[in-house]
A and B are shown apart, each in its own frame.
Chain A
Amino acid sequence: MAQSDIADQTSGSGSSAEKGSILYDPKVRGLFFQIVLLAALIAWVLWVRRNTLDNLEAQGQAMGFDFLAGTSGFQILTTLGTWVFDYQVGSSTYWDVFLIGIVNTFAVAFLGIIVATVLGFVMGVFRLSSNFILRGFATVYVEIFRNIPLLLWLFILYFAVLRNLPDKRDKVAIWGESVGLNITGLYAPFPITYEGFWMSAVAVLVAVVLWIILGAVMKKRQEVTGQQFPTFWVGLGMLVAIPTIVFYSTGAPLEWEYPVFTEEGPVLRRGYQAGIGMVIVPEMIAVWAALTLYTAAFIAEIVRAGILAVPHGQSEAAGALGLRPQPTLNLVVIPQALRVIIPPLTSQYLNLTKNSSLAVAIAYPELVSVFAGTALNQVGRALEMVFMMMMVYLFFSIATALFMNWFNSRMRLVER
C-alpha cells in the first residue's frame, strides 16, 4: 500500500511536470535565454553602428582604408624597420609606417625573448641552488623585478640611466675603439657583405639540416644496436666547420665597418660620425633591457616550478637503473620539466611581445607608438588604425594559442 502510494506520487508529480511546465524545460529555457542574449547583442551592435556613423558624419569623416596609400610626412627614428623598408619622409606611405611598426615590435620582442629565456633559465636554476649566494641573488632579483611595474623599469632605464650618459661629443668605451655608448646610442661595427656571402648563409642552413638528419639517423642506430654517438659535439663541429670553410673559400666576403669617433677638430664635428658603423638607439636599448629583465624574472619562477614539479622519485629511479647524474638530468628530469615549463613559457613570450607596446612611453617607434600614435595624429582615422593595430596582436596571440594546442596534444602523457 505504502509502496504504491509513493509510486503514485512520484509518477503523478512526474506527469504534471511533463504537462504543465514548458517553462521548466531546460531546453526551452536555454533557447529562450540565448535568443534574448543574441537579440540584445544585435541591438547593441546596431546601436553602436548607428552612433559611430552619426559621429563620423558630424566630424565630416569617412570610413575606409584608402588613407594607407597616402604619403607620411613625419620622421621616424632610424631603426631596423626604417632600414628594412628604406623609409623616406614624403615618399613612403602609411602602409610602410604600419609595416615598420610591426618590424620594430618584433625586432625588440625577438631579441628580448632570446635573452630573457637564457637569463630566466639561469636565474631559475640559481633559485634552486644549494649555494646561498646564488640562491639569494636570484631570489632578490626575481622579487624586485616582479613587484615593480614594467613601465617604471622602462623609465628608470631610459630617463634615469641612458639619458644621463655622456652627451654626443663624448662617449663611454665598452670595447676599445669598436664599441662605445653615449646619449645618442650604442655604436658598434656594421657588417658589410659582398657578393658570395649568401653561400655562407646557406652553409649554416645546410649544417643545421645535416645536424637534424644526423640526430635522427644516430637515434635510430642507437635503438637498433644500442651504440651511442656524440651527436651534439659532431653537430656543433659541423655547424662551425662547414660555414667557416665556405666563408673562406669564397674569399671572406664580409667586412666590418667600424664607427668613427672624432676627438679633434671643430666642436660640432666631434663625437661619432653619422652614417658610419651600426648605431642602436637608446630607446631600443631601454625597451629591450626592460622587457628582458622583467620577463626573465617570471621565466625564472616558471623554470623553478617546472624543475620542482618532477618528483624526486624520478631521479631516484634513474639512479637505481644505473644512470649517472648527467644522463639523469638530460634524459629524465629535463624532458619532464619541459612539459610543465613550455606552456607558461609561451604565454610569457606572448606577454613580452604585447608588453613591447609600452615602448610608446619613450617613443621607440614600434607599432603602437608609430602607427596608433604619430600616424593617428596625422590622419585621424582612429577606428581603422586602432582596429589594424589590435588585429596584429590578436593574430599573434591566436597563432601562439594554436601552437600551444598542438604542442600540448603532442606532449601529453600517453596512457594506456
Chain B
Amino acid sequence: MSRENYAFVRTEDAPTLAPPPSQVGITGWLWQNVFRSMANYSTVQASIQSGAMVILTAVIFYLGFTGIWKILDFSVFQAVWTDPEGQKRAVCATIQQGGALPNDWYGACWPFVTAKWKLFVYGRFPEPELWRPNLVFAGLAFGITWLVAGSIPRRRLVGAIVLATAAGLAFVYQTMIGVPFYERIGVWLLVIIGGILLAAPTEVGGRIVGLLSLTVLPVAAFILLTGGHLEVSSGFWFGWLPATAALIGFGLAGQRGMLGAAGEALGGTAFSLGVVLAFICGAVFLATIDFGMPVVETAEWGGLLVTLVVALTGIVASLPLGVLLALGRRSSLPAVRLLSTVFIEFWRGVPLITVLFMSSVMLPLFLPEGTEFNKLLRALIGVALFSAAYMAEVIRGGLQAIPKGQYEGAMALGLPFWRMMNLIVLPQALVLVIPGIVNTCIGLFKDTTLVLIIGLFDLLGSIQSSFTDPTWSTPVQSMTGYILAATIFFLFCFGMSRYSMYMEQKLRRGHSR
C-alpha cells in the first residue's frame, strides 16, 4: 500500500494560530478581569446578573477613582510644598483666611510638617542631645535590617538601590538645600540599611547580632535615652548581689555533684536564674554610671521615639512572658494552669484603655507610699502585661500544633522540662506561629497610639498637640498632620504584614517538602 491510497494524511504540523484577542494583551486582560463577568446575556437571569454587575462595577470604579483622586489632589497637586519667605500660616491660607491662595483651595500644607518634624520624631528632646535618640534609631535600623535581610528578595540589588538613594539624598541636602548631609539622620539610616543588605550576614554572625540586639541594645538604648544617672539604693546591692552570687555558686557546685542529690536536682535551675539576675544587676550597674550625659526626663520624650519605645518594649517583654503564660496554661499543675488562664482571660477581656487607666491611676496606689513612678513606665507595664496575654494565646496555638511524639521523644532522651522546651518544643512551636506573632506585633504597634489618652505624646499625640500652635493654624492643618501619621503607620504595619506573609510562605514550603 502506498501513501496515495489514503484520502488525506497530514505531513506537517498545522500552523500555530495566535491566541484569540480575548486572551492576550491589554484587551485580553480587560476582558478576563473586568468585562467577562458582565457579558452574559443569554438568559433573563444572566442578563439581570450581568446588568447588576455593570452598575456595581461602575459605582465602585467611580468611588475608588474619586477617592484616590481626592487624596492625590489634596496631598500632591494642590499641596503647598515650601515656605521660602517664612510666612508660616499665611502660606497655607486662602484670601478669606488672610493668605494668598484662592478661596476654594483645599490642599496639604507640607511646610507645617517641615517646621514641626523634630517634634513629630523626638518630641521635646533637647536639641543638643538629639544624637542620642539618633544613635538608638541607627541601632534599631541595624538590628531590624539584619533580622529581615535574609528574607528580602534580590537583597544585593535592594541594598545598592538604598545606598544610591542615600547618596542622592546627601547630594540634594549638600548642594540644593544647603544642609550638611552628615547632620541628617535619614541619610545615615539609609547607609546602614543598604550596607547590611550588601554585606550579606552569615548564620553565625546573625546569631551573635541577635543576642546582642536582645541584651546590649535595650540597655544601651535605656542609658542613651535617659542619660544614665539611675539612682539605686544601697539596699538593692546588699540584697541582690549576694543572692546572685549564691545562686550561681549553688548552681555551679550543685551541677558538679558537690551538694548531693538536692544540689544536682536544683543546680541547673539555680544557675540559669543566677545568670538572669547577674545580667539585670550588670545592666542596673551600667545605668548608674555617670557617662557625662545630661539627664533627659521621659516627659520630654515624644513623637515616633515614644511610639517605638512603647511598641518595642511591649514586643520584647511580651515574648518571654507570653511563653511562660502559654506553658503555664498547658501545664499539668492545676494551680499554675488556673492562674495562667485567669491572668490571660482577664487581660484579653478588657480594652487596652482600661488597662492604661488602671496602670496610670491604680498602680501608684498598689506600691509603697511615696514611690515615685514615671508616667511612661506605668504605661509600659500596662502595655507589656496586656500584650503578653495576647502573645500567650498565639504561642499556645503553636504549642498545641506540636505532636505529642515530640514531647515523648524528648522525655525518652531524659531531657528535663526546661531543656525539653528550649531544645525541642519551643523552637518548633515558635517558628510555626511567626505569622501570628507578627500580627500581634502589628496590633500592638497600632495600639501604642492609645497612650495619648493618658497624656503621653507618641507620634499621633505629638501631631495632635502641634495643632494648637496658632502660628500654623489653618483648616488644612489637621488633615495634613493626619495624612502624615497615616502614612508612617501604614508603612510600618504594611511592612510587618508583608514580612509575616513571606515567612508564612517560606514555612509552608518547608512543610510540603
Contacts and interface: CB of A to CB of B under 8 A. Distances in A.
Interface stretch (B183-191, B232-240, B419-427, B482-490): B482-490
Contacts of B350: 354, 390, 393-394, 397
Given A147-B497, A152-B486, A397-B349, A132 B34 contact: yes
B430 interface: no
A372 interface: yes
B76 interface: no
Interface stretch (B94-102, B124-132, B203-211, B445-453): B445-453
B335 A160 contact: no
A7 to B, nearest CB: 20
Mostly, the B contact residues are helix
B335 A386 contact: no
A93 B487 CA distance: 45
B358 interface: yes
B33 A149 contact: no
Contact of A58 (B334, B369, B453, B490): B369
Contacts of A130: 33, 36-37
Contact of A147 (B351, B353, B367, B489): B489
Mostly, the A contact residues are helix
A151 B450 contact: yes
Nearest to B263: A23
A205 interface: no
Contacts of B349: 393-394, 397-398
Given A131-B57, A133-B60, A136-B64, A151 B493 contact: no
Nearest to B367: A51
Given A30-B332, A34-B333, A132 B33 contact: yes
B60 A383 contact: no
Nearest to B32: A130
A146 B56 CA distance: 24
A134 interface: yes
Interface string B25-52: 0000000011011100000000000000
B365 A382 contact: yes
Interface residues of A, number: 61
Interface residues of B, number: 61
Contacts of B442: 147
B357 interface: yes
Contacts of B348: 397
A52 B485 CA distance: 40
Interface stretch (A79-87, A170-178, A256-264, A355-363): A355-363
A398 B341 CA distance: 13
Contact of B64 (A140, A149, A355, A383): A140
A155 interface: yes
18 contacts: A34-B335, A51-B369, A52-B366, A129-B37, A133-B61, A147-B497, A148-B493, A152-B482, A155-B478, A156-B479, A159-B478, A357-B354, A358-B450, A358-B453, A389-B354, A393-B351, A393-B354, A398-B349
Interface of B: 33-34, 36-38, 53, 56-57, 60-61, 63-64, 261-262, 265-266, 332-336, 339, 345-346, 348-351, 353-354, 357-358, 361-362, 364-369, 442, 446-447, 449-450, 452-453, 460, 464, 467, 475, 478-479, 482, 485-486, 489-490, 493-494, 497
Nearest first, the 9 A-B pairs at minimum CB distance are: A397-B349, A132-B33, A147-B493, A354-B351, A149-B446, A23-B265, A34-B335, A357-B351, A382-B361
